[in-house]
Chain A
Amino acid sequence: MSIQNNRLAPEAYERNFSDVHPPFDKKEAALVEANRCLFCYDAPCMKSCPTSIDVPKFIKQITTDNLKGSAHTILQSNIFGGGCSRVCPVEKLCEGSCVYNLMHEAPIPIAKLQRYATERAIAEKWQLFERKPSTGKKVAIVGAGPAGLSCAHALSAQGIDVTVFEKEARGGGLMTYGIAAYKVTPRFCQDEVDFITSLGGITIEYNRELGRDMSIPQLQDGFDAVFLGIGVGLARQLGIPGEHLDGVVDAIEFIYNLRSTSYSQVAVGDRVAVIGLGMTAIDAATQAKRLGATEVTIVYRRTQEEMPCTQVELDLAMLDGCRVLWLAAPKEVLGADGNVTGLVCSEMELGAADSSGRRSPVETSRTFALDVDMVIKAAGQMPFQSLVDAAGLENKGGRIVQANGATSVARVFAGGDCVNGGREVVDAVQAGKDGAAAILDYLRATEITSPDTAMEPSAFNNLAPALPDLS
């Protein structure tokens, strides 16, 4: 029993990490589904999309051979429409509200059609958007994830010059570093980022970290406004004995490695316990299994009724052969010679319902032990509390508090996971759009109130060279 890499043959890795939701093979196949769409008015699917993509319209455009128009319809509402078509939990969004469900018929495969419509646009870099002439206004964005880049695209389209500071070497945020490898490839993530920046007016400075290489006051000095799309950090600590042992790993780190090196280099245990049952837990469990772990057990302290992941995701883990232990909470990690050898869990039972109606799990006196050599922590992610505190941003447990996109600090806006604590890509994209709208409103307002200070482009141009000194 040990934690090892290189467990499988190259073909096995290839197979295990290939597309879970393969695209349409052929135009005809896409048309069969597109033609099923009823073209609903004030469509439920559109209302269920956080970015309000006009779904009936883009599907109709597939049927009229207007693929360019279709891609435009999608991407104008959601510039990550290509990525979202691969990663969105559509069963609880657009497809979940498709009227066909009410007829007990299969819903329109909206995500698959969306992928069909956007795939060529991104691969061939169709120029679907035109940037307005530069206004000379400058905005700094921190984080090149979905929130940051969606904000960047919306601002640049309006003629704002955008500089994005990103601590990693590549863009896309968790799209590139977090989401399961069988949903998006690194190549696709790169193409998507390139597609977004091909609009012009967006410069991404990689390996530049807020808090290390620059501070918020410095950004405020150099730019008219700042947008924070920094996401959230590592997985929550378990706070139980044995957490320091070799073999207890953070799900985010585990997946980060998997996304940034080759699969064969990622080590995984024989018998793995995964703590939690959100999107991250499912991804950690399935990918541990796909890397060659013999047994993967998901430990969740509530019941299936309360699970945060969708049934589709749970099914994915189950089909991969992962096991779920319901009403079990980790109590202690056992070890020998500094390595994990087991996980002791408490049996839980559901107590009284809280104010939200959700019944909380209560510990019983019964415990049991799992024979495992690796424990993956995936019980929620932690916001960047110290960074946010240091910047003087009003926050709730590290989650930045904002109203209409604006934070408590002047000219600083925020959105995405760093505000909502961790939701989906599509929510972050909408937050980026909302942030951009708030920034544009703010810039327009300042233009009217103090025309002489705000609008002279040359004044801002002079500030740019100041940035290299920031570190």
Chain B
Amino acid sequence: MSRLLLNKRFALSGLLLLVLVLPLITSNAYMIRILILTFIWTIAVYGLNLLAGYTGYLSLAHAGFFALGAYTLAILTVTVGLSYWLAFILTLVFTSIVGALIGMIALRTREHFFAIYTLCVGYIIYLIIYNWEGMTGGVRGFIGIPSPGSIGPLEFNSQISNYYLVLFFLVLTIVVIYRIVHSLQGRTFMAIRNSEDLAKTIGISTTKNKLIAFILSTFFAGLAGALFASFTRFIGPEISNITMTFDFLVYLLIGGIGTLSGPVIGTFIIVWISQELQFLQDYRMLVFGPILVILIIFAPRGISGFIIDWNLKRKAKKQQIESMKDMENNQEVKEG
């Protein structure tokens, strides 16, 4: 047990070290760019995971909230002219508030009603962004979004500094999510996922806790969106499209829904495969669509869940063998 934990720590530190020094050992700007985008998407997927994976509510408006974060930042910095970090914080507050308002209503519905409701909310956000040209730039998109402003001596004009900034937020996200999941709050979410009725009868306010999960998920979507806007500096309505939500879902499902490492694993693997399969481009869903279906039937908790289950089984077997050995020993003692 402790050895496993140690191994895990070791592997994690190694991984972190690797991503930390990566920009220093490679000068491949394209690769760094892809990595930054991957980090951003991972943050968004963590938000989705908290709601869909840990609380059991499949939201199909996630890209909408991602876009909400991106456009809010764009509007606050460019149109309103606020300083970057003030706009950044306001963006997070704003997406959370919108999330709270929508969540309050959406969460009165359940299961497929919730999925359809959020699907429609996502679509409304898309249509608004698409049609409200004066504010969002419509189809042409929104250009000239500033890079993150400097904090004291830290400036974020170069790609590498952006890399570290986004990485910082990713690590922060993971730490926060880890702490939430491994706390009474996380157990509360999971109790709701497992059975809302049972959760209620053991005194859990499902209304309140579902709302917390929903707001958290929009918060992380908004955070990712804001980072995306200031990194790419140009955004278009397609980031709020349902296909974007589906992309997030694919990352989450393949990595492992309801697992802590799922979002990282899924996003990295899929983005990486997509890069390798460049020739597939628009047809990548030809591959990922069926994978999604097969996974949900045979390994519903994705790669990460598969590994966890496999480990559990191995452990159980080991225990069995050990207890058998114990019995044999006891017998020997008796016989001897």
Are chains A and B native binding partners rather than an unrelated pairing?
A: no
Could you tell me which B residues sit within 8 Å of A by CB distance?
A: none
